[in-house]
Structure 1
Amino acid sequence: MPDAYAREERGDASPRRRRRTIAVATLLVLAVATGTAVAVKGGLLSFSESCEDSAVRLTLAASPDIAPAVRAIAGQTLADEVRSDGRCLDVEVVARDSYKVADALASGAEAPGFQVWLPDSDLWLDRAEGLGTGTPISPSDSVASSPVTLAMVPSASKRLGWPEKTYSWAESVGAALRSGKVRLGAADPARSATGLLALTSIGASSAQQGGDSDTRVAETAKVLAERMSDSDAQVLETLARSGSGAEEGNPKRNQAVLISEQAAFTHNAEATGSGRLDLFYPEDGTPLLDYPYTLVDEEKLTLPQSRAALRFMTLLNDRSSQAVFARYGFRPADGAADDAVVTPAGGKSPQPYDTSAAEAPSAKELQEMLGMWTITVQSARLTTVVDASGSMATPVPGSGRSRMDVTKESLIQALTQFTPDDEIGLWEFATTLDGEKDYRKLMPTRRLGDPAQGGSTHREKLSAAFAGLQPVPGGATGLYDTVLASYQEARSTYVKGKFNALVILTDGSNQDENGISRSALAARLKELADPERPVPVIAIAVGPDADREEVAEIARITGGDGYEVSDPAEIQAVIFRAIMTAGQNGRAAQE
């Protein structure tokens, strides 16, 4: 290709890359080879055209932290008249919060307006893909990275023994909180990859300590929630400032924050004296923000756009671009430390800033942590409605247990993630279960920590009720009447200040021909739904016989959604994912 620069060789790809669409690069290379040959043979490309006349224009939506660096590279690319198949590259870089882009792509409600997306972490890719009904994305290589760290103003870091003293994630956060004089802030994990990766790392580190780690993590989450900011940029604004009571005063200001190394680099470039930050790098490894280069709605890109997008990705990975990223405080994609970045950011030996990055958490671990965060920040009030029809006795392939057995086990395990302040109840349903009714209330929706008869708690009684669920021989799925009845009660018993929701698990479609019709149910739910007192329905279709689209359409009327699991063992993770999504939707609606 007649380009001004050839792609420079890179080292091995980052081992942290969990999921990348390698086919993207292969297809684009084939497109370049085939398309260029056809274009040249047909005389469609003129290599003498000026940039203004021949430029291929792309819009790239980048995370706000990396947008300035990418914009600088794009500007230099255009100034140098770097070409793709003889046509100049004109890349417009717009800053967009990664969580907002992910939610917009998942909804697919409108055209995105950009061809390339550069989020700060590949954890947003799962969120963007959602249920697979939104705008398709094609992830490829990471272009840069930055470790997540614990940053402190000097007065606080010296108190904890920086830089000589090293800690694990759980120990560092615990030491900061136990000191009683170090106020710790973080960005909302539902909106910040930095906040979520840090909280997940704290959870994994706490689990290694043994004991009741779930309680410790929940307590940490509670503390962080009290000093939570909406974004990473806002977290930095909460820091104590020189001359503003940085040592002990001004309780509204934080002395420690969970941020990326790059964010600390940018902050320190403008700060002086006691306003600069020192960085703790946990011994058990720091997770990386990894900035995956992602094509958006690839099938709708023109051939020149596809080739240009690939060309710009190779440019972002060449030596000159990597030098630009380093000047803005980023590490290369493999996470290798560079003292020219680490030292200005606030890192200092013997802090283990050059150790291997922590293993990236799985999508399931992230979903569970987000669910825990949602119900910790805002206590939950959930009514769980479980299908007890005869089909729940169907064996789960390879497990030797029935759908009901695995469902019960998953629900009991999920129950351990809720706090004593959370309220949970239980209904079961099957045709003619209770006289003419298709449903029966087994446990009221009450605080898990409330005392119950016999000296136990509501949590213990509820766990026993879950364990006692049994399929009703010959019972069919009386779904519609049950949804209406349970929703009416959840609405009438709504508790302000809590996350109110209805969780319905079913392995089939409605089979009660004598009950309310689907259209009548939809009409009644529309009448009952109140944005000021939201009670989203979280409908989980279990197994191959369930109709996810049916339950999803019903749930969406209330502000919830439908989910599908092939294995009931996945229910716990899906519940937390659904709680997080519904909680975010409700919060966005209030804003």
Structure 2
Amino acid sequence: MGSGTHAREREKASRFPLWIGLLVLVLIIGVVAAVLWRARSEDSSCASTSTTTVAAAPDIAPALTRAAEAMVDEVDCVEVQVVAMVPAEALNALVARDPSAPDLWVPDSPVWIKQLSDAGVRSTVLSEAIASSPVALAGGPSAAAPGSWFDALSSGRVVVQDPTKDGPSAAALAAPRAESSATGASADELTARMVPLAQQYGARTAKPADEVLAAISTTSKQLVPVTEQHYLAAKRQNGALSFVVPDSGTLLLQYPVVSMAQVDDDSTDASGEFVSYLEGRAGQDLLSEADFRKADGTALAAGVGFGDVTALPQPNIADVQSDLRRWTVLTVPTSMLAVVDASGSMDFETGDGTRMELAVDAARRALSEFPGNARVGLWSFSIDQGGPGVDYKQLAPLRALGEGDQGARLVGAIEGLVDRTTGGTGLYDTTLAAYREAIKKYDERYFNSVVILSDGANDDPGSIGLSSLVKTLRAEADMARPVRIIAIGISEDADMTELTRIAEATGGSAYPARDPRDILAVISQALLAR
């Protein structure tokens, strides 16, 4: 028993130091861990946090918000706040030096940066593009790809948003310029194509793009400019959607990053960190997950989206800005009293018909380009056309095309012009009467004009003289009710000198149309010169 007792005592003694050693080791590890945690905590505590605010185009803002949240988990002492803001609204805030203006701006086109610079606002481009998305035309399942963007915009099927606010619509408007080397469309043709598109836009109440895309069905014929990223999001909600890319190619919307901060601003650290994160692998992966392409336009993985597309060269920014300014002017609806020369010389043959026959065909086509809210009236004129001593006759009053039977009445009156040709040109009295009628019927919601088409000089010896006419037009011009005369000289016989004097007396212009078939293009040119 004695030997057993000693054995147990030796066993207890041998275990005791081991137990104590383990306890001490655990305590040491705990202390070291606590010290290390405290040291790390002290190292990561921030004397101050660098905060940056970001205004981003609404389509990319959600992806940037996710990127900001992910970055803050990885980078200490920075905070990024992202707000979705339409580029036009952000531009206004930046130009106005609004105290709430963002530190960083991510619009959907470098055109916005040029506008910022033109307004005298200093900024620094931190990234030419963190992402891109090609533009296509969304439609129903039967949508067919047009040969070019010019063809698409000429089809009457494209429904645009306001291109001064909507990136895809601005791209659709700019694409014909970018493809012009392939299509051969002239600068005049490109700008003229904008007239009916803008007039049609001004005539309707624009619905948000999401509503338009949601309403597209299997029988829809309309086409809507849309980015790949937006299309994929809309497709998840509307399975009837399909897309087409014109054969000529397309433009990429690119998303630059611009810093508004000064060098010593606290936000510069956070801004730089955020841009670096977006351009890095993690940021690019997040943008890709949101269906944005890399800046170079590389197609999305796994065959998602539009696939490989032919990228058109980016158009000149100054040309794009000019087109957008024209658009803004052209969306104001037209009020036009058309006054057509019905003198005997309009019966002269041209080889393809009489001057009047060609003018009638051009007028009919021009009428079809105007929306229902356009106000159009029609007079014909020649000596005694309206009876003895009256050189003009009203064929249709100045009213909206969609009002009652006005549209049909105008078509009938235009076609009947070929039977009204007779006598000499009673230009001066007619011009004064038409100008007074347009002032009387003035509507402030419209661009008000008198469009005179004539193939010769005034022949009426008993009418007011040219000098007296010009003087009277200037005297009766009303700044509160502005009406411009647009004079179009048909054929080589037109007296452009006197037409120019007449038009300029009202702030208008005169244009030659050597061939009556050019009337539509000339009217478009005149409307562009508003």
> TM-score, with normalisation over the residues of structure 1?
0.49
Counterpart of 1:123?
Answer: 111
| Structure-1 residue corresponding to 2:137 | 150
Quote the Cα distance in structure 1 between the aligned partners of 2:53 and 2:277.
Answer: 16
Q: 1:353-406, CA deviations, whole angstroms, 9 ceiling, x for partnerless residues?
A: 332x2222223211221133123221479xxxxxxxxxxxxxxxxxxxxxxxxx
Q: Provide the aligned C-alpha RMSD in A.
A: 4.1
- Where 1:279 maps in the other structure, the secondary structure is strand
The alignment status of 1:336 with 2:298, answered yes or no, reads yes
3-state SS of 1:491 partner: coil
State the partner residue of 2:325: 371
The code of the aligned residue for 1:67 comes to A
Give SS of 2:196's match.
helix
* Match in the other structure for 2:283: 321
Alpha-carbon distance in structure 2 between the residues aligned to 1:137 and 1:487: 49
Residue 30 of structure 1 corresponds to: none
Q: Is the 8 A contact 1:185 1:228 kept in 2?
A: no
Secondary structure at the counterpart of residue 64 of structure 1: coil
Q: Identity, % of aligned pairs? A: 25
**3-state DSSP class of the match of 1:196?**
helix
Please give the residue correspondences for 1:353-364 in structure 2 after superposition, counting only pairs within 5 Å: 353-355=308-310, 357-364=311-318
Q: Partner of 1:586 in structure 2?
A: none
Once residues 230 and 191 of structure 2 are traced to their aligned partners in structure 1, the CA distance between those partners, rounded to angstroms, is 29
Measure, in 2, the Cα distance between the counterparts of 1:454 and 1:166. Answer: 39
Is the Cα–Cα contact under 8 Å of residues 184 and 254 in structure 1 kept in the other structure?
Answer: no
What amino acid is the match of 2:309? Answer: D
Corresponding residue of 1:263: 230
Paired letter, 1:117: W
Secondary structure of 1:58's counterpart equals strand
Larger radius of gyration: 2
Written as runs of structure 1 = structure 2, the 5 A alignment for 1:569-588 is none
Q: CA 1:198/1:107 → structure 2, altered by over 3 Å: closer, same or farther?
A: same
1:86-125 superposed matches below 5 A = 88-108=77-97, 110-125=98-113
Which residue of the partner structure matches residue 475 of structure 1? none
TM-score relative to the length of structure 2: 0.54
Aligned pair count reads 331
CA gap 1:103/1:282 in 2 versus in 1, 3 angstroms: same
Question: Structure 1 stretches of 5 or more lacking a match?
Answer: 1-45, 178-182, 382-418, 424-443, 458-484, 496-574, 580-591
Query: What letter corresponds to residue 139 of structure 1 in structure 2?
Result: V
**Equivalences for 1:12-51 in 2 at 5 Å?**
48-50=42-44
1:285 is aligned, of 249, 256, 265, to 249
Q: Is the 8 A contact 2:148 2:248 kept in 1?
A: yes
Runs of 5+ consecutive residues of structure 2 not aligned to the other structure: 1-39, 336-368, 377-434, 439-447, 459-473, 485-526
**What does residue range 457-468 of structure 1 map to in structure 2 within 5 Å?**
none
Match of 1:489 among 478, 485, 506: 478
CA drift at 1:213: 4.3
Q: 1:200 to 1:306 in 2, by over 3 A?
A: same
Letter paired with 2:237: A
Q: Report what 2:158 is aligned to.
A: 184
CA gap of 1:237–1:105, structure 2 versus 1, over 3 A, is: same
**Paired letter, 2:317:** A
Name the CA distance, whole Å, in 2 between partners of 1:146 and 1:91.
24
**Secondary structure of 2:95's partner?**
helix
TM-superposition CA deviations, 1:455-475 (whole Å, max 9, x none): 489xxxxxxxxxxxxxxxxxx
Q: Please tell me whether the aligned partners of residues 118 and 294 of structure 1 are also in contact (alpha carbons under 8 angstroms).
A: yes
> How far has the Cα of 1:206 moved from its partner?
6.3
The residue identity in structure 2 corresponding to 1:145 is S
State yes or no: 1:295 paired with 2:289. no
Deviation digits for residues 168-210 of structure 1, max 9, x if unmatched?
Answer: 21234445x3xxxxx5322101212221121121355468344
The one-letter code of the counterpart of 1:287 is L
Distance verdict in 2 for CA 1:330–1:456, change over 3 Å: farther
Contact 1:117 1:295 (C-alpha < 8 Å) held by counterparts:
yes
In 2, Cα distance between equivalents of 1:273 and 1:143: 30
Question: 2: CA distance between counterparts of 1:273 and 1:309?
Answer: 39
- Give the secondary structure class of the aligned counterpart of 1:147: strand
* Partner of residue 65, structure 2: 71
Shift in Å, 1:99: 0.8
Q: Does 1:167 align with 2:131?
A: no
